[in-house]
Amino acid sequence: MQKRPAIVAVGRTKFGEHYGKEPEKLIEEAWLAASSECSIERKDLEACYMSDCLLPITNKLGLEEGFLSELTELHVPMEVTRSFSAALLTACHAIQAGVYNTVLVGGIEKMTDRWDKIRDDLMLLDDPWSYYAGATPESNHELMLRAYIKKHHITGANLEELNLALAEISVKNHANAAKNKYAQFQRKITLDQVLSARKSTHKPLGLYDFAPVSDGASALILTSETTAKEMTTQPIYVLGCASATDYLNYPAREDLSRFLAAELSMKSASKTAKITSSNLHLIEVNDQSTVMEMVSLEDLGFCEPGTAWHGIHEGCKHGQNYYEIGSRQLFVNTDGGLKADGNPLGATGGAQIFEIYRQLRGEAGERQVKLESGLPEYGCAVEFEGFGTKAYATILGVKYDE
């Protein structure tokens, strides 16, 4: 497959509160970081696929493609999606079809520019019916946790262990982010902090169980396999990329304890990539809450339904940065995840791909994953739009089977 999509360079900004930076400065920073990595210039780009979820609202940008054309001084085809993974999926299709050979994929968000209304915007993305009933962006996560506990009959000591496992997810992700110079929160937290935050609000999930509101940008250069080999000695191949969709109205879904769209997209991507969960040790999941990281391990086929919390607890109770699932190690959100790295919606998926790209190339520094067999050969990223309404699974690898 001479037109197999391959990533030859990545770039990103630090995630956080960038009040002093305009959107164009953020995406320019990410693009320049990627372009300098593979010595590519704007004139070499044949198309651009960008993502943002709320930029027209937060920064009053009506037609983002025109904004991007001004920024790059290019008149090539440009398309905008709601998530980075959607932009990447579209770009992959264009490369595979032979329409383009070298494209820019990027994402940007400036959520803190609309502090007074951003929570309303987020809730409308998740479930507008719940919003009009007075729900908050956190409510669906708590509903999912309650549904999960009820479905799997988790009580007594097991329930205590599950709640502790969720807290350990947050502690683990903050520990990973402390080694990530781009992360919004580069500090460690303790189990006591997580549990105390829950206790102070009298809720099953507290401050440290949720991802923050963030600004930031990410970018990558995608080419065909032939071109990739001319640009770098270590291209990272997009082996599988797929999406699936579920109901917008979360309470109307058949099973509230899981994300069906994540399961379906993962199965489709795995089939295309010819990769099963047994081949994967490196995963970036959409941990908008600690509950979502736990549930994702089951939706993606790494754990049996109703058991992920036990594997999480067994792995984290010794202070490890990986989970012990069965007889193998599973490294999840090594960059800190959305929880600590940050969650600027349009750029979040790009940060996930950035991390896997660095890990597969052995360039992750202190965060570098090392298996008994050496560096990981495959990685998987899962990104959501809304509360599991759309799911994208992307499998990357340093090699592939014909």
Instruction: State the average pLDDT for the chain.
Output: 93
What DSSP character marks residue 333? -
State residue 66's pLDDT score: 87
Domain count, the chain: 1
Positive or negative, the Cα torsion across 255, 259, 262, 265? positive
pLDDT at 2 over 80: no
What DSSP character marks residue 230? H
User: Percent of the chain having pLDDT more than 70?
Assistant: 99
Residue 52 lies in a domain: yes
pLDDT at 42 over 50: yes
Phi, psi of 324 (to 5 degrees): -105, 95
**pLDDT tens digits, residue range 170-227?**
999 999 999 999 999 999 999 999 999 999 999 999 999 999 999 999 999 999 999 9
For every residue of 19-87, DSSP letters joined together read: TTS-HHHHHHHHHHHHHHHHT--GGG-SEEEEE-SSHHHHS--S-HHHHHHHHHT--S-EEEESSHHHH
**pLDDT tens digits, residue range 235-247?**
999 999 999 999 9
pLDDT at 291 over 80: yes
Average pLDDT, stretch 58-82? 86
Yes or no: say if 240 and 279 are a contact pair by the CB < 8 Å rule: no
Tell which phi-psi region holds residue 153, choosing left (phi > 0), alpha (psi between -120 and 50) or beta. Answer: left
Residue 193 lies in a domain: no
Residue 64 lies in a domain: yes
Residue 39 lies in a domain: yes
User: Percent of the chain having pLDDT more than 90?
Assistant: 78
| C-alpha to C-alpha distance for 52 and 84, rounded to whole angstroms | 8
**pLDDT tens digits, residue range 121-162?**
888 888 888 888 888 889 999 999 999 999 999 999 999 999
pLDDT at 361 over 50: yes
Yes or no: say if 142 and 134 are a contact pair by the CB < 8 Å rule: no
Residue 11 lies in a domain: yes
| Paired tokens of 243 | 């999406």
Residue 42 lies in a domain: yes
pLDDT at 372 over 80: yes
Residue listed under structure tokens 């109205």:
249
From 69, 256, 294, 265, select the one nearest 161 (Cα to Cα).
294
Q: Which residues contact 59 (CB under 8 A, 6 or more apart)?
A: 23, 110, 113
Count Cα neighbours of 150 within 13 Å in the Cβ-side half-sphere: 10
Taking the model in full, what pTM does it have? Answer: 0.95
| C-alpha to C-alpha distance for 148 and 109, rounded to whole angstroms | 32
Phi, psi of 56 (to 5 degrees): -60, -30
Query: What is the span of the domain harbouring residue 68?
Result: 5-116+213-223
- CATH number of the domain residue 26 falls in: 3.40.47.10
Residue listed under structure tokens 């595979």:
96
Residue 93 lies in a domain: yes
| C-alpha to C-alpha distance for 255 and 295, rounded to whole angstroms | 12
Average pLDDT, stretch 275-280? 89
Residue 373 lies in a domain: no
From 297, 224, 285, 273, select the one nearest 397 (Cα to Cα).
273
Burial 49-69 (b: 16+ CB within 10 A, else e): bbbbbbbeebbebeebeebbe
3-state secondary structure at position 137: coil
Q: Which residues contact 348 (CB under 8 A, 6 or more apart)?
A: 83, 84, 107, 109, 218, 286, 338, 342, 383
Task: Name the pLDDT band for 1 (thresholds 50, 70, 90).
Answer: very low
